[in-house]
Amino acid sequence: MAVAAERHMTVDELIAEGGPIKAKATFRSFDESTVEDFAAMQLHNDDTRNQVLELCLEHLEKLKHPQPASPVTRYEHSLQTATRAWRDGRDGDDDIIAAALLHDIGDFFSPHNHAEFCAAIMKPYVRPEVYWIVKHHEMFQGYHFFHHFGGNRNARDKVRGHPHFEACRQFCDDYDQTAFDPSFDTMPLEAFMPTLQRVFEKPKREVYDKVQDD
């Protein structure tokens, strides 16, 4: 059998053919790596399993942290944002529902840039419009309260005219900024799990591709 690398076989093709696959990769730099090396790692390492949803849910759980002075916890806010989107007829739009649920999961890890935190995680799994919404929601939310801090509530005007401006404005105006009502009939996380599982089942696109994101 010819050496797989000489045939420019891909990792998936080599595994499907059954080998030859090493027990362990032996390269010391990527420059000297072979397809057999990567097949070994893909087949024998257990960390290539997609754990993105599990980790997102762990971060969502952190948003239960008590905030006695706030109308609702950030966890309740997240579920309420998703519920509002769902009841607005977006229940069939998996990307939007996932974005509504997870858009604030970076609040602890990246408190001063939480929108980009979640956007980076979701980028491979959702359409470019939804990635853009998550990435810019912090600024669009500001229209509703930045002035209380002496900030510029019209900061979003910098991107007015962008193809996704209106979608982001609508997401924030109708779902995100309204989702602080303690008496709202919010749906439980379990109701959204099938949606989340579909979204994070596998990446839909390579983030290296040039797409209209920014």
**Which of 37, 76, 94, 104: binder of Fe ion (CB under 5 A)?**
104
**Residue 38 beta carbon to Fe ion: minimum distance, rounded to whole angstroms:** 37
Backbone phi, psi, residue 69, to 5°: -90, -5
CB of 91 to Fe ion, least distance (A): 19
**Closest distance between Fe ion and the C-beta of residue 191, in Å?**
19
Q: Pick the piece of the chain touching Fe ion (CB under 5 A) from 100-108, 123-131, 150-158, 160-168.
A: 100-108
- The yes or no reply on residue 94 touching Fe ion (CB under 5 A) is no
Number of residues lying near Fe ion (CB under 5 A): 2
Q: How far is the CB of 150 from Fe ion (least distance, A)?
A: 20
Q: Which is nearer to Fe ion, 33 or 178 (CB)?
A: 178
Distances (CA, A) of 14 to 19, 39, 42, 45: 6, 7, 11, 16
x/- map, 141-180, Fe ion, by CB under 5 A: -----------------------------------x----
Place of tokens 């390269």: 27
- What does the radius of gyration of the chain's CA atoms come to, in whole angstroms? 21
Minimum distance of Fe ion from residue 16's CB (angstroms): 43
Q: What type of residue sits at position 154?
A: N
Nearer to Fe ion, 10 or 70 (CB): 70
Q: Long-range CB contacts (< 8 A, 24+ apart) of 106-109?
A: 106/59, 107/62, 107/63, 107/74, 108/59, 108/62, 108/63, 108/65, 109/59
DSSP characters for 93-113?
Answer: -HHHHHHHHHTTTTTTTSTTS
Residues at the site binding Fe ion, with contacts judged by CB under 5 A: 104, 176
